[in-house]
């Protein structure tokens, strides 16, 4: 079927009435609200709802990889512009993916806690709302970003990118640095990941980690080097050298 977006008025109504609808979020559905009067199909798009039934609500890097691939492959014709539209992801979380979003993100507890979880993971505001918080949008965006790196299989890029939550956030939330050099960053991260079974480069120590120092150095060098002006192999060599220096310092 086609993708759908929820009309802005209904999105506002849902956001303003989270507490009133807690029973719907916990065990019910929104079929009586997401009627043709309030939901608009998007021509030229397609979503395989059957595939989305395979989404696994368990947490963990491996599960995130599988879920990101499911969402990304299930949707066709989605532009980056539409992928930044909260109305689309509200349709997913309140419609076809309600069960997954509920089981993954809504923890039974105080009313305040449940409202906070729903507001964060069923809606989408700001950059983090799409790439980190919304239950379905983040999965699509992780795979979309990973697909920019074409020299390695999508499975491998997602495996490394989603291995550690803080690594993922550090990369995705530094777009001015990571977008021009994403291929090179992922190349070196994959090398570090595959060369050390203990994944020492990815571990944190006293709220720090080799990867954090490494990304800081990449950011520092950006002050004197426009990464988009250099070929991938040149950036890769620099990032590989920085990783080696930092690793030696921490030994």
Give the pLDDT score at 182.
87
Give the pLDDT score at 86.
97
| Residue linked to tokens 């990464």 | 227
Structural element, H or E, at residue 76: strand 75-76
Give the pLDDT score at 166.
85
Residues 232-244 pLDDT 10s:
899 999 999 999 9
Please choose, from the candidates 127, 138, 124, 241, the residue with its C-alpha nearest in 3D space to the C-alpha of residue 184. 241
Structure tokens at 163: 């291995």
Residues 57-100 pLDDT 10s:
998 889 999 999 999 999 999 999 999 999 999 999 999 999 99
Beta carbons of 157 and 149 less than 8 angstroms apart? yes
Kindly state the average pLDDT of the residues 19-30: 96
Beta carbons of 143 and 132 less than 8 angstroms apart? no
Measured over the CA atoms of residue 164, residue 187, residue 81 and residue 95, the dihedral's sign is negative
Give the pLDDT score at 93.
98
- pLDDT-derived band at 220, boundaries 50, 70, 90: confident
pTM for this model (two decimals):
0.91
CA 165 to chain centroid, in Å, comes to: 10
Give the pLDDT score at 174.
67
Give the pLDDT score at 206.
60
| Residue linked to tokens 């009309």 | 7
Q: How far is the first Cα of the chain from the last one, in angstroms, to the nearest whole number?
A: 55
């Amino acid at each position: 079927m086609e993708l759908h977006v929820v009309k802005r008025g209904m999105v506002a109504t849902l956001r303003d009435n989270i507490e009133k609808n807690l029973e719907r979020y916990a065990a019910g559905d929104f079929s009586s609200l997401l009627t043709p009067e309030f939901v608009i199909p998007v021509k030229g798009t397609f979503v395989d709802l059957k595939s989305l039934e395979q989404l696994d609500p368990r947490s963990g890097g491996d599960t995130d990889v599988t879920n990101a691939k499911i969402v990304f492959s299930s949707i066709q014709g989605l532009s980056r512009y539409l992928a930044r539209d909260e109305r689309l992801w509200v349709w997913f979380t309140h419609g076809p993916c309600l069960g997954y979003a509920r089981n993954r993100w809504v923890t039974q507890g105080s009313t305040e806690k449940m409202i906070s979880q729903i507001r964060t993971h069923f809606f989408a505001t700001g950059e983090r709302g799409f790439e980190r918080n919304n239950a379905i949008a983040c999965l699509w965006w992780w795979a979309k970003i990973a697909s920019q790196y074409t020299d390695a299989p999508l499975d491998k890029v997602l495996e490394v990118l989603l291995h550690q939550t803080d690594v993922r956030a550090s990369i995705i939330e530094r777009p001015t640095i990571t977008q021009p050099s994403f291929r090179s960053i992922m190349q070196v991260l994959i090398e570090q990941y595959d060369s050390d079974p203990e994944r020492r480069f990815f571990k944190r120590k006293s709220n720090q980690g080799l990867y954090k120092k490494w990304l800081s150095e990449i950011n520092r060098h950006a002050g004197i080097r426009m990464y988009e002006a250099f070929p991938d192999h040149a950036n890769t060599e620099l990032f590989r050298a920085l990783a080696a220096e930092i690793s030696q310092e921490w030994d």
